Amino acid sequence: MTPQKNNPLTQKIRPAPFVTIFIFLVLGIIGITLEEPSRVLEQAKQICLSCIGIG
Amino acid sequence: MDFIRKWVQALFFILTNGYWNFPLSKGIYKGPLKIVCSPGLNCYSCPAATTYCPLGSLQQLLAGIRMSLENGQFFVGFYVVGTMGVIGGFVGRMVCGWACPFGLFQELLYKIPSPKFGIWSPLRSIKYLLLLFMVILLPLFAIDEFGFGSTWFCKYVCPAGTLEAGLPMLVLQPGLRESIGLLFFNKLFVLVLFIIWAVLASRPFCRTACPLGAFYALFSKIKLVKLRLDPARCTHCQACHTVCPMGVRFNESPDDMECISCLACSKACMFDAISLEVGGLSIARQPRPSGCQLKNPT
């Protein structure tokens, strides 16, 4: 009665999510090597008044 | 499952807003955790915020890209977009249903007794335009005489920023009240509009105006964790239509870009036709109630 596609033995792993995650992971690592997180941290530590509608 | 989801939402709310010393410090958290990306929409100028907002960071990086490049620094958003993409690749808009504080806020507003309305489906496309223009193109190309762009979405639209950062900062730092003007009242109007709308309709900001949700929606077909429809079990009873907070007709559109994987449809389906899958492998299946007949048993 159980449809075949739901049988764990016959289900296929989709490669697309893994490829996508890998690509963005590489992108993130490139950002880290360029020291972008330090810039992000610097921005996040400051209150951007115009960004929240003040000033 | 909804009970678990509420706890997960609460957990993410606390994790992304875990700085409770702000009433004493009168300022925002400035520690190292702010290098971590908030998966949901959570303003990093919120006094309690412990993580950075990917939308705010991306706009600021794009707005200052010319200055960075002139200084030989390639701060073009690789880290931020990479982080957003990894989250999107794993769970996509599941973030909206499980980890976004502003999504939780809207869900709570929708519980207020009132007449309830749907949302005209063409309005869904606004969030993609906001992502393209107000988060990417305008910060990048609409520059001042010094070569700086502006954080357009944060500045003119983001109601989460007004709620989580603008209003609390005005309370914490009364001196700032002298600085408010038309810009603030515009943002306050947007916030009030979405609050009223969220009482009358389910998740209006997520469905019409959230650029972060729009970005995650791009992963709807390829994300690792997603809902799967078993057409053989579906009887087209439309139970999944009525319970969906995003107005998705799941049995007609299983990879719908609006789906936030809240599992409400899975719970409502009496025929066990909707399950959760990870990378193609089904991991959760509710037992079928006795007496239920399959439409097309195989």
Contact assignment for B78 to A36 by CB distance below 8 Å: yes
A30 has a pLDDT exceeding 90: yes
Residues B136-172 pLDDT 10s:
999 999 999 999 999 999 999 999 999 999 999 999 9
B288 has a pLDDT exceeding 70: no
Residue B52: DSSP 8-state: B
As a whole number, mean pLDDT of residues A25-52 equals 93
Cβ–Cβ under 8 Å, residues B103 and B40: yes
Tokens found for residue B30: 């400035």
Best A21, A35, A40 member to test B by mutation, with max B CBs in 10 Å, is A40
| Percentage, residues of chain B above pLDDT 90 | 90
Name the closest residue on chain A to residue B50, using Cα atoms.
A44
| pLDDT mean across residues, chain B | 93
> CA of B264 to nearest chain A CA: how many angstroms apart?
20
Residues B67-89 pLDDT 10s:
999 999 999 999 999 999 999 99
Question: Which chain A residues have any C-beta within 8 angstroms of a chain B C-beta?
Answer: 1, 3-6, 8, 11-14, 16-18, 20-21, 23-32, 34-37, 39-41, 43-45, 47-55
| pLDDT mean across residues, chain A | 84
Name the pLDDT band for B284 (thresholds 50, 70, 90).
Answer: low
Cβ–Cβ under 8 Å, residues B159 and B191: yes
Contact assignment for B85 to A8 by CB distance below 8 Å: no
- State the Cα torsion B138-B140-B142-B144 to the nearest 10°: 140
Residue A1's pLDDT is 42
Contact assignment for A51 to B88 by CB distance below 8 Å: no
Name the pLDDT band for A12 (thresholds 50, 70, 90).
Answer: confident
List chain A residues with CB under 8 Å of B221. 16
> CA of A55 to nearest chain B CA: how many angstroms apart?
5
Residue A11's pLDDT is 75
| Percentage, residues of chain B above pLDDT 70 | 95
Residues B93-151 pLDDT 10s:
999 999 999 999 999 999 999 999 999 999 999 999 999 999 999 999 999 999 999 99
Buried b (16+ CB within 10 A) or exposed e, B213-249: bbbbbbbbebbbbbbbbbebbbbeeebbbebbbbbbe
In chain A, alpha helices (H): 16-33, 36-44
A7 has a pLDDT exceeding 70: no
> CA of A2 to nearest chain B CA: how many angstroms apart?
7
Residues B47-68 pLDDT 10s:
999 999 999 999 999 999 999 9
B285 has a pLDDT exceeding 70: no
Residue A4's pLDDT is 46
Residues B266-281 pLDDT 10s:
999 999 999 999 998 9
Residues B1-54 pLDDT 10s:
788 999 999 999 999 999 999 999 999 999 999 999 999 999 999 999 999 999
Determine the 3-state secondary structure of B37 from DSSP.
Answer: strand
List chain B residues with CB under 8 Å of A26. 82
Contact assignment for B82 to A52 by CB distance below 8 Å: no
B205 has a pLDDT exceeding 80: yes
> CA of B263 to nearest chain A CA: how many angstroms apart?
18
The model's pTM is: 0.92
Cβ–Cβ under 8 Å, residues A48 and B56: yes
The ipTM value here is 0.89
| Percentage, residues of chain A above pLDDT 90 | 58
Burial of A10 (0-12, 13-18, 19+ CB in 10 A): exposed
